[in-house]
Chains A and B, each alone.
Chain A
Amino acid sequence: MAGRKGKGEDKTNKLPESSGRKGKREDKTNKLPESRVKIIMKSSPATKNIGKDALFLANIATKMFIQHLTKSAYSISNNKDELNYNDIAEIVQTKANMSFVKEMMPRTITLSQYKELMAAKGLTIEYESSEDESDETGSTSSQEQSFESSSEVY
Chain B
Amino acid sequence: MAQSFDDLNLPNAVVTRIAKEVLPENVSIGKEARTALAKAASVFVLYITSASNALATKNNRKTINGLDVIEAMHETDFHMFVEHLKENLEYFKKIQQEKKDAVVKQKLQKDGESNCAASNDNADENDIQ
Among A52-60, A110-118, A121-129, A133-141, the one that faces the other chain is A52-60
Q: Is the interface of B mostly helix, strand, loop or mixed?
A: helix
Those 4 A-B pairs whose CB atoms lie nearest each other, nearest first: A53-B66, A97-B77, A85-B32, A16-B87
Q: Are A100 and B88 in contact (CB under 8 A)?
A: no
A16 nearest CB neighbor, chain B only:
B87
* Contacting pair A61 B21 (CB below 8 A): no
A41 vs chain B, min Cβ distance (A): 4
In contact, A15 and B69 (Cβ under 8 angstroms): no
Q: How far is the CA of A23 from the CA of B20 in the complex (A)?
A: 11
Chain A residues positioned under 8 Å from B44 (CB to CB): 61-62, 65, 100-101
Report the number of A-B residue pairs with Cβ-Cβ less than 8 Å. Answer: 215
Cβ < 8 Å to B, chain A residues 79-119? 80-85, 87-89, 92, 96-97, 100-101, 103-105
Q: What residues on A are CB-neighbors of B30 within 8 Å? A: 82-85
A70 surroundings in chain B (CB, below 8 A): 19, 22-23, 37
Cβ–Cβ contact A67 & B18, under 8 A: yes
Chain B residues with a Cβ closer than 8 Å to the other chain, count: 67
On whether A44 and B46 interact (CB within 8 A), knowing A70-B19, A70-B23, A82-B30, the answer reads: yes
Q: B29 interface residue, CB < 8 Å from A?
A: yes
Question: Are B66 and A54 touching (Cβ within 8 A)?
Answer: yes
> How far is it, in angstroms, between the C-alpha of A73 and the C-alpha of B34 when the chains are bound?
12
